[in-house]
Chains A and B, each alone.
Chain A
Amino acid sequence: MSLTLPEELTYESLCSALANDYASQGEIRTRRIAEYLYNYLCTLGSGSRDSKSKVRMVVEREYTDADFLDDFAEYYIRCYPNYSRRCKRLHFFKETPLAEDVFSRLVRGAATKGEEDAFRESYLGFVVARPLPRAVIGRTVLRTYESDGGRRNYTCTRKYPVNLYGISLSVDSLAFQEQDTVLAACATVALWSCFQKTAKLFDTRTPTPAAITTVAGQAIHLGRPIPSHGLISFEMCRAIRHYELEPELIDLRDRRFRSVPFISLLYGYLWMGLPVILGVEIEKVGRHAIALTGYSFSRERQHKAETIELAKDKSTQQVPLAGLHISALFGHDDQIGPFSRLKVISPACHSEGESNTIYLESTWIDPETKRILKLTPMQVIIPVYHKIRLTFVDVYRWVTVFLPALRYHFGNIEALEWDVHLTFSNDVKGLMRTSDLRKDAFLESLLVEHHPRFVWRAILKFGEIRLVELLFDATGFARSFPLYRVVWHNEDFASKMKWLLEHPGLSPILNEVESLRINSVRFWEFLGLSIARQFD
């Protein structure tokens, strides 16, 4: 077989490469996903949305994709049309170092080390083109946009090794694919993308779409599982359990969850790189599952409120959370493309008389009016490791216990902010080493001591200044006392808390903070002891 040389990426060359015997170039040209991929690649290549065509494409004409092979063996081989079991794989590179003669020398092993390094550096990822009539976009692994100074956070990525004609390449991404509505609908491919990342986080398996649909359909499916027209939440939870994870399901329509800060909840899991499945109702279209892969975090707050529904009778002032900084989420929407942007529109942005419910805007457009359609969040499903038992809501309850002390010290608590997120204790230790903490015996003891593997961190800040950090054992459970460490970042604040906790008249009042699940007495005692441990 002769070597296919790199060609310039144009919309026509992309559509031509994606085409097959069952889907013509003209047909693919009209597909929204092809247009999205083209624009995405051009932006990746040039580093700007305005500047285009800085990308070169190499088409690997015969490629066996493990995920498609499984789908093929499960279904397509038994179809009347003679579908191929082989795919094409389209590789993309930034243009500059990929002159044709350089590429030939690279393949033959005659290139210089500098040329090989530049080649690897220029790699943008690949798209598998399936030989199918509709769902042409198979496993797609593309680099993310640059972080833009920390604003864009594509946290749910992992390293994918790639081999092109013997040349080892790699790309940091999260695999994406289009649903074929035979073996996979939106919910299946959202789960498939999530499992790609949870495999790296928790050493679990990476099933194929066909395997996920089969497992999900074993739970309770009144219709035929294949062809798949969708999954219900119960089936998605069943599939998550089958792959050694536990589903945390939050039904946002349920009035019981009206006080939960929705964006911070998503942020709490996405921070550690754990993908979250967001179920949305798309206006005039239906219910859709999107695998969230990251968020856009601005320095300034973007919202005034972030609960799913802004309560009209809300009088209590709660400490703001980090989620207020998130202007958009990034997600694998199998009908739009990888890392697509979902702009968060919060209730406070609405004009008088409009809906008071938070919603999202993506590139879903009404085909008749060209109006951007509203995506209303309905459900959140988080595939967590089975030993992670403490939820975001549990931790949020504990930090709410702190509220009266903060109100007492600060009055207006608008400048305060809780940053609540799940993480690994090893990451916590790494961050502590480079934090503002004094390099003293206290820090040493913190680093030397044994921590649980998974930790919920709740960091209280005043503007950019850290005041205190609460560490919760994420493997504990809500009605235990999961708080296991308190780190005071600000000695002045610690001394004010010490005064309050030791005040004979005020301290007993703090002990009155209680709820069905929380008795605060031990909480305040623990805070007092932690101050003594760190500073005395």
Chain B
Amino acid sequence: MDDVELRKANLVTGQAKVSSQVAYRPPNQETAEAELQAFVLEAKSELASLDEAEGISQQALEFEFNV
């Protein structure tokens, strides 16, 4: 098996475990809506920050590599 195959194989190993190993949070019906609201706000904040991650400044284009 060459490196590429091995790397690809690594991504599919260990997948046959049973789903019961996935640890879910016990649901709380009473606070569910409030909690989800808070999580949505978190995601919106993250997305707002990621929205900025675009564009190139003139300064960036003039960055010189000269070592």
Residues of A at the B interface (CB closer than 8 Å) are: 144, 147, 150, 152-155, 157, 172, 185-187, 190, 229-234, 236-237, 249, 251, 253-254, 256-260, 273, 279, 282, 285-289, 297, 316-318, 335, 378-379, 393, 396-397, 400-401, 403-405, 407-412, 415, 419, 427, 430-431, 434-436, 459, 462-467, 489-493, 496, 505-506, 509-510, 512-518
Q: Is the CB of B54 within 8 A of A393?
A: yes
Q: Is the CB of A186 within 8 A of B67?
A: yes
Residues in A neighbouring B52, C-beta threshold 8 A? 256, 259
Interface of A is mostly: mixed
Question: 1/0 contact trace for B1-36 toward A, CB 8 Å?
Answer: 011101111111111110111111100000011011
Nearest 4 CB-CB pairings of A with B:
A230-B66, A464-B14, A251-B60, A515-B47
Q: Is the CB of B65 within 8 A of A185?
A: yes
Residues in B neighbouring A147, C-beta threshold 8 A? 3, 6-7
Q: Is the CB of A431 within 8 A of B11?
A: yes
Residues in B neighbouring A492, C-beta threshold 8 A? 19-20, 22
Residues of B at the A interface (CB closer than 8 Å) are: 2-4, 6-17, 19-25, 32-33, 35-37, 39-40, 42-57, 59-67
Q: Is the CB of A462 within 8 A of B22?
A: yes
Q: Is the CB of B32 within 8 A of A505?
A: yes
Cross-interface CB contact of B4 among A155, A230, A254, cutoff 8 Å = A155
CA separation between A465 and B42, bound complex, in Å?
A: 26
CA separation between A253 and B23, bound complex, in Å?
A: 39
Looking at the assembled complex, report how far the CB atom of B36 sits from the nearest CB atom of chain A, in whole angstroms.
Answer: 5
Q: Is the CB of B61 within 8 A of A260?
A: no
Q: Is the CB of A464 within 8 A of B67?
A: no
- Indicate the member of B9, B54, B55 with the most A CB atoms within 10 Å: B54
Looking at the assembled complex, report how far the CB atom of B37 sits from the nearest CB atom of chain A, in whole angstroms.
Answer: 6
Residues in A neighbouring B43, C-beta threshold 8 A? 400-401, 403-404, 513
Looking at the assembled complex, report how far the CB atom of B39 sits from the nearest CB atom of chain A, in whole angstroms.
Answer: 4
Q: Is the CB of B46 within 8 A of A230?
A: no
Q: Is the CB of B24 within 8 A of A259?
A: no
Q: Is the CB of A316 within 8 A of B14?
A: no
Q: Is the CB of A515 within 8 A of B24?
A: no
Q: Knowing A260-B53, A403-B46, A496-B24, say if A287 contacts B36 (CB, 8 Å).
A: no
Residues in A neighbouring B61, C-beta threshold 8 A? 232-234, 237, 249
CA separation between A287 and B65, bound complex, in Å?
A: 5
Q: Is the CB of B64 within 8 A of A232?
A: yes
Q: Knowing A231-B65, A234-B62, A403-B42, say if A393 contacts B8 (CB, 8 Å).
A: no
Looking at the assembled complex, report how far the CB atom of A322 sits from the nearest CB atom of chain B, in whole angstroms.
Answer: 9
Q: Is the CB of B22 within 8 A of A256?
A: no
